Structure 1
Amino acid sequence: MKPKFTTLIILVFLSAAILAPFAVSHLYEPIIREQSFDFLLFIKGNLYKQITGYISLVFVILEMVLVARKRGRGWIIKIKIPGSIKLWRKLHIFLGVGLLAIVLVHTIGLNGLNFNAIFLSIFFAVSLSALVGVTAETGVVESPQRRFFSWLPNKNVQEKAIPGISKSTLIRNLRSFWLGTHIILVAMFFVMLAFHIFLAYYYQ
């Protein structure tokens, strides 16, 4: 099973805290540049970028191992990886939040320019689409209610309340939306990741 709803809410707030520096980087970068220019050169240097970049790549690979663990049964070549599906689902979520933290370390919260800015935005969308989606889905699963949105008025029946949406239908619709969006974003992310690695070595 996935982490509980309360745990996921904590992870959402933690992710928001990790992302906060990116929103205010334009305020603190000039301060670092003026007061600790040597430090800024170090964290923008090749050695620092390569070390933190490789650590980020390891996290990405670990996340992809989860996909092999979950989908391997349907492939022609059977992939046997130790651990239960429940354990890997939990690890996938926690590793995703950990990857956000590693990317913060890698970029020191700077959004970058042009391609890097778009690449970073896609990465944030990948992470948040999954985390917010699974949090909403888990909230519905753990809810004692059997039907949702029954308070909405039905204009066709003299403003009477509609019966509402069943829990199973709502879960299915939520999963279809967030998982579909997440998969598309992941595909975009991997294309841009390959290009990002190429650029990093091309301009080294």
Structure 2
Amino acid sequence: MQPKFSTLIMLTLICAALLTPFAVSSVYLDALRERSVELHQFMRGEIYKQATGFTALFFVLVEMLLSLRKRSRSWFVKVKIPGSVLFWRSLHIFVGVGLLAVVLVHTLGSNGLNYNAVFLWMFFAVTLSALVGVVAETGVLESSRKFFSLAGKSEAGVGKGTLIRNMRAVWLPTHIFLVSVFTLMLGGHIFLAYYFQ
């Protein structure tokens, strides 16, 4: 149940649409503040931030289940989680796009200041690394070409399997590193949110 290339392109466009408010938030947040003070105060209030924050945390935990599913057989304690790796990878992709939507709702598109700004940009890097990797891999898999070369000529180049392994050797460690930094920053974000309450 791996998403098709066309589905991944559509999800990429959805991600671009979800990221657009972050680019123009200064315009609409000022307008919201001026025209609807009560709504703006509610959306900046503690209840709203906690509800959307815990929803985002739930999405992050679901995302981390993929790692649990993939590595559970090699751990000392054998954890049996039903479903195929392809199912969990697909779920990981769709929940990741959902997480991007939840982050937009949580932040209202505001880029934040100081730590929160860096944390948000780290999240964007995690999302971008995942999208680039999975879209490129799926594009190669679904391509009718058997060999790929830099020159683009008909001469024999690299086969699909080799190309995917080489791409995965770059994007997957990058994604895992960024996820690790994001996870540490998430702990810091939660601590700061409750420390400065």
Residue segments in structure 2 that go unaligned for 5+ positions in a row: none
- How many aligned positions are there? 197
Shift of 1:167: 1.6
- % same residue: 58
Separation in structure 2 between the aligned mates of residue 88 and residue 31 of structure 1, nearest angstrom: 41
Tell whether the 8 Å contact from 1:60 to 1:99 is kept in structure 2 after alignment.
yes
* One-letter identity of the residue aligned with 1:175: R
Shift of 1:16: 0.5
Partner of 1:158: none
Shift of 1:65: 1.4
Separation in structure 2 between the aligned mates of residue 149 and residue 11 of structure 1, nearest angstrom: 28
Separation in structure 1 between the aligned mates of residue 145 and residue 94 of structure 2, nearest angstrom: 28
Separation in structure 2 between the aligned mates of residue 62 and residue 31 of structure 1, nearest angstrom: 35
Separation in structure 2 between the aligned mates of residue 63 and residue 171 of structure 1, nearest angstrom: 23
Shift of 1:166: 2.1
Residue segments in structure 1 that go unaligned for 5+ positions in a row: 154-160
The reply on whether 1:64 has 2:73 as its aligned counterpart is no
* One-letter identity of the residue aligned with 1:124: F
Partner of 1:46: 46
What does the per-residue CA deviation read over 1:12-52, in whole Å, with 9 as the maximum and x for residues that have no partner?
00110011100111111111111112211111111100000
Partner of 1:116: 116
Aligned residue among 180, 183, 195 for 1:190: 183
Tell whether the 8 Å contact from 1:12 to 1:132 is kept in structure 2 after alignment.
no
Shift of 1:75: 1.0
Tell whether the 8 Å contact from 1:150 to 1:162 is kept in structure 2 after alignment.
no
* One-letter identity of the residue aligned with 2:149: F
The normalised TM-score by structure 1 is 0.92
The reply on whether 1:10 has 2:10 as its aligned counterpart is yes
Separation in structure 1 between the aligned mates of residue 88 and residue 150 of structure 2, nearest angstrom: 36
The normalised TM-score by structure 2 is 0.95
Aligned residue among 144, 151, 173 for 1:180: 173
CA RMSD of aligned residues (A): 1.4
Larger Rg: 1
Separation in structure 1 between the aligned mates of residue 9 and residue 40 of structure 2, nearest angstrom: 34
